[in-house]
Amino acid sequence: MSELGEITVSIGALRGNAEALRALVAPSRAAFVVKSNAYGHGLSDVALAIEPIAAMICVYAIEEALTLRDDGITKPILILGPVPQDAISDALAAKFHLTLWDTHAYLQAITSAAHKLHATANVHIKLNTGVNRYGLEPSDLPDALETFCKKPELHIAGIFSHLASAEEIDSPYTEFQRAQFVRALDASHALLDASGIQPTRHLAASAAAMLYPQTRFDMVRFGIALYGLWPSSAVRAAMTDAGLRLQPALAYTSSLAAVRDVVAGSAIGYGGTYHAPRSMRIGVVPLGYADGIPRLLSNIGAFLVDGRPCPVVGRVAMNATLLDLSNAPQAHPGSPVTLIGQDGDNEVTADDWATWSQSINYEVVARLPERLSRRFLQA
């Protein structure tokens, strides 16, 4: 390994997860979300791996969509976030699907760009059913459709919303949001029928698709589950009992850069937050919070050295993390370190990091820097 740290991603795990998720929701179609560098796994390589299984690829930003087109993705791409007005023409030229939640300036920008290009804009109308970020109010959908249907530059390819609490086993709010979505669709049914429009309806992401089958509609947007990670421990327990198996696709490894002996009472790391309780050996991992290791792992987390759990001691620094090597007495500079992944009978997971850092597995993997080397394994 020439880098100080390396991320490996299993193509086999990604494809296995994608196939299992597609089968779970059939006959609904499966879209896969690769925003934010594919949740830290590597944008284009992930998209290319799962493209044959996907009905659609979802990203957040136009830059991601353009990269995917340049790298050979031909499936429809939905941009979930706003596209800057000066980039809308590029989006239309590439035939991306755009998210539309506006009946004023953004609508005008899209239709003007489409008119100039003699193109048709594929849009997915987003409804705000309760997350209160982007989206038209559900009660406004019929009037908005009246406006949109008069625009020859628009093709209404989809209507969708996003759920706030679907990772909870018993979530009245999820049912409230689903009902909001259904009421809006029902109120617009006659107009859609009269206009000959059959938009793809999509509401569920990973958690809802698993726990609430009634939210699947025509298509499901799978994000975190594609990568073999569960939306919550409750979802994991429920779906494991139901027989769904997912395989984490990502591992993060390094090697010890230095090993030193310290005497009892020695202060370890910045601020002296850890003092050696006895004479001990300390290993230096040449990675820190600049490399995606949360500073909150200080004196809490553990990595595997030679397959043995070795606790983090002292504060995680920008470019170094120190380990107590008591469990790995033969460790030396160059010994392998597994930050996330399995080595022998032991494993450190993104969920472990999330627990230690009071976060969620989404944040753990999404914040792994893009500059880190990523190697893609077919197995």
Cβ 232 vs Cβ 167: under 8 Å: yes
Rg value, the chain, Cα: 24
Mean pLDDT of 17-41: 98
CA 113, 81, 77 angle in degrees (round to 5)?
A: 75
Residue 307 has pLDDT above 70, yes or no: yes
Number of structural domains, the chain? Answer: 2
Question: What's the confidence (pLDDT) of residue 213?
Answer: 97
Whether 173 is catalytic is no
Q: For residue 152, tell me if it sits in a domain.
A: yes
Domain membership flag for residue 277: yes
Shared domain check, 256 and 237: no
Q: What does the alpha-carbon distance between residue 111 and residue 277 come to, in Å, rounded to a whole number?
A: 69
* 212 in the same domain as 99: yes
Q: Are residues 257 and 335 in the same domain?
A: yes
Among 182, 212, 241, which residue terminates a domain? 241
H or E stretch covering 265: none
Nearest-angstrom CA–CA distance, 111 and 286: 51
* Tokens found for residue 183: 């009421």
Q: Is residue 116 one of the residues assigned to a domain? A: yes
Q: What is the pLDDT of residues 232-272, one digit of tens each?
A: 999 999 999 999 999 999 999 999 999 999 999 999 999 99
Structural tokens at position 111:
């239709």
Whether 262 and 115 map to the same domain: the answer is: no
Q: How far apart are CA 301 and CA 314, in angstroms?
A: 11
Q: What is the arithmetic mean of pLDDT over 6-25?
A: 98
Q: Do 301 and 232 share a structural domain?
A: no
Which CATH number goes with the domain that contains 71?
Answer: 3.20.20.10
Backbone torsions φ then ψ of 156, nearest 5 degrees: -80, 95
Question: Residue 1: what pLDDT?
Answer: 45
* CATH number of 347's domain: 2.40.37.10
Mean predicted lDDT score pLDDT of the chain: 97
- Is residue 184 a part of any domain in this protein? yes
Q: What is the average pLDDT across 121-140? A: 97
Token digits of residue 120: 């048709």
The pLDDT score that the predictor gives to residue 210 is 97
* Averaged pLDDT, 7-17: 98
DSSP single-letter state for residue 127:
B
- Per the annotation, the verdict on 252 as an active-site residue is no
Give pLDDT, residue 379.
75
Catalytic residue among 60, 270, 274, 362, which? Answer: 270
Q: Which of 112, 71, 119 is nearest to 97 (CA)?
A: 119
Q: Are 33 and 180 members of one domain?
A: yes
The C-alpha atoms of residue 32 and residue 221 are separated, in whole angstroms, by 6
Note down the domain range covering 294. 250-377
120 and 226 co-located in one domain: yes
Q: Do 319 and 357 share a domain, yes or no?
A: yes
Query: Of 97, 271, 269, 267, whose CA–CA distance to 199 is shortest?
Result: 97
> At 2, is the pLDDT very low, low, confident or very high (cuts 50, 70, 90)?
low
Name the active-site residue from 35, 126, 151, 274: 35
> Does 265 lie in the same domain as 146?
no
How high is the pLDDT of residue 325? Answer: 98
Residues 226 and 281 reside in one and the same domain: no
Q: What percent of the chain has pLDDT over 90?
A: 99
Largest CA distance in the chain: 81
- The reply to whether 79 and 227 lie within a common domain is yes
The pLDDT assigned to 3 comes to 79
User: Do 216 and 255 have their domain in common?
Assistant: no
Query: Residue 342: how many CA atoms within 13 Å on its side-chain side?
Result: 7
Point out the domain boundary residue: 189, 210, 241.
241
Query: Final residue of a domain: which of 220, 241, 262?
Result: 241
Tell whether 359 is covered by a domain: yes
